[in-house]
Structure 1
Amino acid sequence: MSQDFNAELHARPSIYFAGPAFVEHLAFMSRGQNDPVIDRLKTDADALHIRTQVERHTEFVTITRVVQLDADAHEWPVSATSSLGTDGISEADLICRIGLLVNGAAPAELGPSLKQLGFQETAASSIGGGAAVVCSDFRVRPGEGSRIALFNNDLNAYRLGRMVRRILEIETYRSIALMGLPEARRLAPLLSEFDARLIELSDRNLTIPTSEHKPLLDEISALSARVISATAETRNRFGATAAYAQIVEERITELRETHVPGFQRFGVFVARRFKPAVRTCAATALRLDQLSRAATHLVDLLQTRIQMEIELQNTIQIQAMADRAATQVKIQRAVEGFSVIAISYYLLSLLKVVFETIDHAGYHISPLVMLVSIPIVIATVALTVLRVKHALEHG
């Protein structure tokens, strides 16, 4: 595993070369390990004896070719651009195509040379502590892509290769980072719709009666699902945009730019037009996250409100049940009292019949016995009822 980690340090080698050259760079979305386009481009490079470097990144592939020139080119080498065709690569998969011309030392007046090369409104910077000058108008020409000119004042083959690599990476990562911008533009009207809908649902949550809570909860849940779906669809793209933008900024810093009189700096031109797009993507991602949180919070608030009302209803029902139970207890106690009286009455009536029968039989019983038996019978019945009740409660 340590070998794999160490190999990663050497996974992006530069193509080292010296002297005038034309470097063509192509970046397109990856279609798997067995891509016939890559095989074709490698085969063409071998047939033309052109140095070619293929790099597989996480989601895209880059191919870089170097064609050595016999002398400085005062016009754009159109014939050289045909060495790297885009046959088999759809417009949707193509990220960027760059032609980079490397000439000798920069002339005292850049304007005429850049005009001969077909540049318009050019940005230029002295890079590498004055060791080279990089120029570009950042215009994409049909069939050629964008053009960059590098005037080599004092770069050896190794430094030149690394500098060219940084410039190509700036353009490549800048282009692929901007793939998030169409998504941000597509989401802009949806986010406005989500905002308005969320405000409407929030206002309704404050005023609706209890009977309409369930439909409102369904509507809020549906909105939350749409926001979460949009977030999931664009999370990777916006995350990649942020990562690629950071790489672009790092590569611009590594150029160590200084100002060329009469021209806007290369890195400043990129940053002024690139950063607003990146910020738009970041703001869209943040807005999606905030909408998702707000919708979830509104769902929680409504669920809490519904739960509190349910608990209030349960409390009222429990109180009503407790009142009914208390009334039943009172009724039960009243019934128990009546039961003692009724049973005692029947027992005393039975004893009276017994005493009268005995008296008719000729055996006289004192009325005091009947009088004494009354409290005894009542006490006995009451004790019996209490024991039965106790047995039922603890049985």
Structure 2
Amino acid sequence: MPPFPLHPQRDRLVGELHARPLAPLATPATLSRLAMLVAPGADRAADIAHLAALCRLYGVNEPAAEAIHFTADFGAFQLRYERHTEFTGWTFLKPLPTPPAGQDPFDDTAIDALPRDWLAALPGQAIAAFHIALIPEPADEEPRFAGLPAEGLVASTLAGGAGLVGTDFRIHPDGFARFLVLDGGLGAARAGRIAQTLWEIETYRMMALLALPIARGAAPQLSEASERLSALASRARGSGGLEHDRAALAELSDLATGIETMAATTAERFSAAEAYRTLVAQRLDALAEVPIPGLPTLREFLGRRLDPAIATVAATGTRIARLSVRCARAVDLLRARVAVAQEAQTQTLLAAMAETGRAQLRLQETVEGLSVAGISYYLVSLASYTLKPLQSTQPHLPVEGALSLMVPLVAAAVWLWMRRRQRRSAV
């Protein structure tokens, strides 16, 4: 151990550089490659369990439970297992006898050595399946690309003329695509590097194209959403009242929700497509192809097919983003107009409430005046009932004058009493 503290992820990060080492490939050989797409949330331990079952069948040491890379020699074939984020790579390799001139080098493939029931139970779904045959470059009089149709052939020279590669990028009756590599002095290390580059190109190409059906499926929805947004914007331009604007806002909000849902469900796949396309371009750079007169290179073929597909995906993503911005802007504008209308309605309601309050105040003042008069009249009447009997016994008493003086005094006292009660009630 070094005499200094280590980051806990140091060994793991260094190991990433060596997780998928290049394997030398001696000529002649045949290689079968499967890329099994893994469903989101699937149990990745199923891959290791399936691999362990094959190891037990052939008496080979089983992989570790957390292994992301595994290679082993099973006698009849060699196996290379790789775990990627979205797919699992299974590569099967076996030596190939040099085929006679003109014989199809794909008659005997590496996957033929695998148990059929084990292959049928492979976890996931095959997104890419292809054979790579590596044979010596034939003599000048022999056909170069036996096993590949002349129509649609894509080929180029590699490694400064030390090798050639040919394919038609088609799925053949056995369900596999085909790549034929002709060795004219490649050497095992360079042949292995070319084979790995080819299977990465084919795998990443297919992974990039996964976004194309999604983009094509989204196109009609985007057109419908754009037309609906334009119609709603035209309707909202005219003022139909608060309820009309509220209804339009509800429709716009529903449309915005649909667009955002579409953006959320496509963004990850679309960004992955661009990342895979970049990987394909890097691997094509690594091949360093030299054209063969009369035949398109792999880069030329994929440039005419893959680039337009990824451009469609990118354009669809841009359409979704722009439509989302347009819809959000329309929602904000209509929401502002609804808010202004609601504020005006609130001001009108408050003005009506204020007028009602003023009317209630006037009514209250009238009732208070009547109350003062009524209570004063009642109190003076009680006083008259008390004082008038005294006048019969004492005629000299000024009862009428006293009652007259009491009226303003009693009224003032009642008014002050009621005001005092109002102040206490307000507190």
**Number of the residue aligned with 1:279:** 311
Contact 1:173 1:247 in 2 (8 A): yes
Q: Deviation per CA, 1:254-304, whole angstroms, max 9, x where unpaired?
A: 223444444433223212210111222233334344445555555555555
- SS of equivalent to 1:28: strand
- SS of equivalent to 2:131: strand
What displacement does 1:26 show? Answer: 2.4
**Number of the residue aligned with 1:13:** 21
Contact 1:73 1:103 in 2 (8 A): no
- SS of equivalent to 2:170: strand
What displacement does 1:169 show? Answer: 0.2
RMSD of the alignment, in Å? Answer: 3.9
- SS of equivalent to 1:392: helix
Contact 2:105 2:147 in 1 (8 A): no
Contact 1:102 1:152 in 2 (8 A): yes
CA pair 99-245 structure 1, distance change in 2 beyond 3 A: same
Structure-1 separation of matches of 2:328 and 2:121: 43
Structure-2 separation of matches of 1:237 and 1:367: 105
Contact 2:242 2:342 in 1 (8 A): no
Q: Deviation per CA, 1:94-125, whole angstroms, max 9, x where unpaired?
A: 3222222334469889x952378544343334
**Number of the residue aligned with 1:192:** 223
CA pair 89-242 structure 1, distance change in 2 beyond 3 A: farther
CA pair 27-392 structure 1, distance change in 2 beyond 3 A: closer
Structure-2 separation of matches of 1:367 and 1:34: 115
Structure 2: gaps (5+ residues):
1-7, 59-71
Greater Cα shift, 214-223 or 234-243: 214-223
User: Does 2:426 match 1:393?
Assistant: yes
**Number of the residue aligned with 1:78:** 106
Structure-2 separation of matches of 1:213 and 1:389: 46
TM value normalised by structure 2: 0.75
Q: What are the residue-to-residue correspondences of 1:1-395 with 2, within 5 Å?
A: 1-2=8-9, 3-30=11-38, 32-34=44-46, 49-71=76-98, 74-75=101-102, 76-81=104-109, 83-84=111-112, 88=120, 93-104=125-136, 113-114=144-145, 118-128=149-159, 132-143=163-174, 145-153=176-184, 155-207=186-238, 208-212=240-244, 216=248, 219-220=251-252, 222-292=254-324, 294-295=326-327, 298=330, 302=334, 304-348=336-380, 357-360=389-392, 361-365=394-398, 373-394=406-427
Greater Cα shift, 80-89 or 155-164: 80-89
Contact 1:74 1:117 in 2 (8 A): no
TM value normalised by structure 1: 0.80
Greater Cα shift, 223-232 or 53-62: 223-232
Greater Cα shift, 247-256 or 147-156: 147-156
Structure-2 separation of matches of 1:121 and 1:367: 132
Contact 1:355 1:365 in 2 (8 A): no
Q: Deviation per CA, 1:166-186, whole angstroms, max 9, x where unpaired?
A: 121001110122122222223
AA partner of residue 109 (structure 2): T
Aligned residue pairs total 392
AA partner of residue 426 (structure 2): E
- SS of equivalent to 1:167: helix
Greater Cα shift, 12-21 or 297-306: 297-306
Structure 1: gaps (5+ residues):
none
- SS of equivalent to 1:388: helix
Q: Deviation per CA, 1:206-231, whole angstroms, max 9, x where unpaired?
A: 45544456655554455445445544
What displacement does 1:10 show? Answer: 2.1
Q: Give percent identity, aligned residues only.
A: 32
